[in-house]
Amino acid sequence: MGQHAKTILITGASSGLGAEMARQFAAKGYDVGLAARRTERLAELAAEITTAHPERRVAHRALDVTDHAAVFGVFGELREELGHVDRVVVNAGLGKGAKLGTGRFDANLETAMTNFVGALAQTEAAMEIFRAQEAGHLVTVSSMSAVRGMPSSMTTYAATKAGVAHLAEGLRTELHGTRLQKRIKVSVLYPGYIRSEMNDKVDQSTPLMSSTEKGVRAMVAAIEKEVADAYVPPLPWAAMAPVMRHAPLGVLKRLI
């Protein structure tokens, strides 16, 4: 990453996984760029981080990732304020959705536009920066639901998260064997149940539910290792992934 202070830009940083990633990366010595729609929460998080780590620089901007021009503008502003961007975490997303064909195309469209088209805009903006720098680390936050098509209200969400993973995998394939392969890294994270606002309707007592701090610690560890793909936390999700991918539909429906 060079001799300068490490920097990381995180979208969807006002709460949940994004906010906790910002805390943990700041504690590890990173300067952080934060972007999200809820500016009051961003300001509170920035103040919290600078109080805990006065030596860290924290830049933050309001961002709705469905405003595509704003994505490019905000990424550029954060790069300028921080001087450079070593890592970008494409994290912003929605958990909204409904069964297909039940009159709630509006909810599924909002999820698709935010989770996939918004992620495409973020990926484009990040890669413009990395190509100009000839260095960087793109991290996309997918989901365990991307491993296999999901039923009911999860169908569109899972499809968007599979799309996000394929964007990253396509980039990785493009870079393979080129001079930039070792300079621009691409990682995909597949979180399981980690306590956050997005999954607050999931049974919080399930033994598969990880605390936000523990779950994000696994995400941060995978990011710092620059792994290509990571199911997080590894237990039980690394073992669950092949089962979810290959199980007969009857078995899959009982699992989920």
Give the model confidence (pLDDT) of 154-202 as tens digits. Answer: 999 999 999 999 999 999 999 999 999 999 999 999 999 898 765 555 4
Q: List % helix, strand, coil for the chain (3-state, nearest 5).
A: 50, 15, 35
Model's pTM, two decimal places? 0.93
Predicted pLDDT at 256: 73
pLDDT under 50 in the chain at which residues?
1-2, 202-204
Architecture of the domain made up of 7-255: 3-Layer(aba) Sandwich (3.40)
Concatenated DSSP letters for 128-194? HHHHHHT-EEEEEE--GGGGS---GGGHHHHHHHHHHHHHHHHHHHHHTTSTTTTTEEEEEEEE-SB
Q: CA separation (Å) from 24 to 29, 56, 84, 140, 173?
A: 9, 12, 20, 17, 30
Q: In angstroms, rounded to a whole number, what is the distance separating the alpha carbons of residues 255 and 128?
A: 40
Taking a C-beta distance cutoff of 8 angstroms, is the pair 21, 220 a contact? yes
Where does residue 85 rank: exposed (0-12), middle (13-18), buried (19+ CB within 10 A)?
A: buried
Predicted pLDDT at 188: 98
Predicted pLDDT at 2: 43
Predicted pLDDT at 157: 97
Predicted pLDDT at 136: 98
Active site (annotated) includes residue 157: yes
Predicted pLDDT at 197: 63
Determine which one of 157, 190, 193, 231 is catalytic: 157
- Write the CB contacts of 120 (distance below 8 Å, at least 6 apart in sequence): 167
Q: In angstroms, rounded to a whole number, what is the distance separating the alpha carbons of residues 165 and 32?
A: 24
- Write the CB contacts of 236 (distance below 8 Å, at least 6 apart in sequence): 192, 208
Taking a C-beta distance cutoff of 8 angstroms, is the pair 22, 52 a contact? no
Predicted pLDDT at 67: 98
The token duo for 9 is 């830009």
